[in-house]
């Protein structure tokens, strides 16, 4: 098969290759391997991962770092950066011939260098899009290859992020098998595959990947007016840790360092999520408790009346980390994400404790 050029391309039209001929043997081999490995699991499978390797996510659409962020990477001995390359979502009219399309693709500052960092491209796939995985799997692999080639990025691993449930699990798991084969074709070597694991997914059979990253953030319902902190709350994590002791997949632990504002109208109905904490004429805000503020004075019924500011204390992060590791074992930590504004809310000792 002739390799396409490394030109930066959008996802092409649907591939005509059938799935069954391409993946029948890999499925059989993967099944046999899982059976063998199931009997070889030890109490803490996580010690098969990188020993003591600190990592961060980069989740912006323009890759550029400032002095604070570069110093943070150095001071905290960051070795791995998980960089979101693009999202995949259903076609909403951009191109009629494609069932799914890439959106929010990252661009790279030409003055930036990656040094000795282990770069892991991350692709977020919506649950709706994953049901159409056959239409884009091969082209997604080529797109990752093209972006790496264009930006002189050498990789050995790709991570996929999908909030799969029982109804989409089969499609996502088959996608992971197919995309491993497609990546090997384009990169001409084996590419490791990792997957994010949400708390509710711990009760399910794990995907057939090299390891997972347990997402201990976005744990609550931010649209609920009565939620106190949707980013991370110990009580939201507690019901799921019982699954960790028997979870048959090596895991890293992703912890949040970000904040946001959740806005509600006068009826306490959700209006929008503001990730940039943009509001503030503080003179017009009355504090109500647990981060909730009311905009004083008359406002239209459907306009923003209440703002809940959410950020996670170092204590909460460390309490959650301790709870998870008590039930699973020591885990490498990935902070979400590299942002000087957010990271500067924590002192160096707190940051060090997150990684230790």
User: Can you list the positions of beta strands (E) in the chain?
Assistant: 54-58, 62-63, 78-90, 100-103, 107-108, 118-125, 157-161, 192-198, 211-215, 251-256, 259-265, 270-274, 285-289, 292-295, 304-311, 333-336
Max CA pair span of the chain: 67
The sign of the CA dihedral 263, 269, 271, 275 is: positive
Per the CATH hierarchy, to which homologous superfamily does domain 19-257+314-355 belong?
Glycosidases (3.20.20.80)
Please report the pLDDT score of residue 152 as a whole number: 94
Q: Identify the three-state secondary structure at position 171.
A: helix
pLDDT by residue for the chain (356 residues), tens only, comes to 334 433 334 444 434 343 344 444 444 444 444 433 443 433 455 556 656 689 999 999 999 999 999 999 999 999 999 999 999 999 987 666 789 999 999 999 998 888 889 999 999 999 999 999 999 999 999 999 999 999 999 999 999 999 999 999 999 999 999 999 999 999 999 999 999 999 999 999 999 999 999 999 999 999 999 999 999 999 999 999 999 999 999 999 999 999 999 999 999 999 999 887 655 566 688 999 888 999 988 888 889 999 999 999 999 999 999 999 999 999 999 999 999 999 999 999 999 999 99
Q: Tell me the CA distances in angstroms from 158 to 18, 47, 273, 287, 321, one per residue in order.
A: 23, 20, 29, 44, 25
Please report the pLDDT score of residue 121 as a whole number: 98
Please report the pLDDT score of residue 45 as a whole number: 57
Closest CA to 225 of 293, 145, 170, 160: 293
Please report the pLDDT score of residue 109 as a whole number: 94
Let me know: does 90 contact 100? Beta carbons within 8 Å.
yes
Tokens of 90: 């259903």
Q: Identify the three-state secondary structure at position 121.
A: strand
Please report the pLDDT score of residue 138 as a whole number: 97
Q: Please list, in sequence order, all residues whose beta carbon lies within 8 angstroms of the beta carbon of residue 216, skipping any fewer than 6 positions away.
A: 199, 232, 237, 253, 254, 255, 256, 320, 321, 324
Residue range 123-166, pLDDT digits in tens: 999 999 999 999 999 999 999 999 999 999 999 999 999 999 99
Please report the pLDDT score of residue 40 as a whole number: 40
Q: Please list, in sequence order, all residues whose beta carbon lies within 8 angstroms of the beta carbon of residue 33, skipping any fewer than 6 positions away.
A: none
d(CA 120, CA 63): 14
Tokens 């347990």, residue? Answer: 214
Tokens 């999520």, residue? Answer: 273
Q: Identify the three-state secondary structure at position 97.
A: coil
Tokens of 145: 């290859």
Please report the pLDDT score of residue 83 as a whole number: 98
């Amino acid at each position: 098969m002739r390799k396409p050029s490394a030109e930066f391309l959008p996802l092409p039209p649907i591939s005509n290759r059938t799935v069954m001929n391409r993946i029948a043997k890999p499925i059989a081999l993967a099944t046999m391997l899982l059976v063998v490995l199931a009997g070889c699991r030890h109490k803490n499978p996580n010690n098969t991962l990188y020993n003591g390797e600190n990592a961060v996510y980069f989740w912006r659409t323009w890759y550029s770092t400032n002095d604070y962020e570069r110093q943070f990477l150095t001071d905290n001995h960051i070795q791995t950066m998980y960089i979101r390359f693009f999202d995949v979502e259903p076609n909403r009219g951009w191109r009629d011939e494609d069932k799914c399309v890439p959106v929010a693709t990252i661009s790279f500052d030409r003055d930036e260098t990656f040094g000795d960092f282990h770069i892991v491209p991350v692709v977020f796939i919506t649950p709706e899009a994953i049901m159409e995985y056959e239409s884009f799997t091969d082209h997604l692999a080529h797109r990752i290859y093209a972006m790496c080639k264009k930006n002189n990025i050498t990789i050995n691993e790709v991570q996929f992020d999908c909030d799969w449930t029982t109804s989409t699990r089969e499609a996502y798991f088959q996608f992971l098998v197919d995309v491993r084969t497609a990546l090997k074709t384009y990169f001409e070597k084996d590419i490791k595959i990792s997957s994010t694991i949400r708390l509710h997914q711990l009760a399910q059979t794990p995907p057939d990947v090299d390891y997972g990253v347990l997402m201990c953030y976005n744990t609550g319902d931010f649209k609920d007016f009565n939620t106190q902190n949707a980013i991370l709350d110990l009580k939201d994590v507690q019901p799921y840790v019982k699954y960790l002791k028997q979870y048959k997949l090596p895991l890293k632990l992703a912890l949040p360092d970000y904040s946001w504002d959740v806005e509600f109208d006068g009826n306490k109905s959700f209006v929008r999520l503001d990730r940039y904490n943009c509001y503030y004429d503080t003179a017009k805000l009355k504090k109500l408790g647990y981060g909730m503020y009311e905009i004083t004075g008359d406002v239209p019924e459907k306009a923003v009346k209440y703002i809940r500011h959410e950020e996670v204390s170092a204590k909460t992060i460390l309490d959650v980390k301790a709870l998870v590791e008590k039930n699973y074992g020591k885990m490498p930590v990935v902070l979400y994400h590299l942002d000087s504004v957010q990271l500067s809310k924590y002192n160096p000792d707190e940051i060090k404790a997150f990684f230790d």
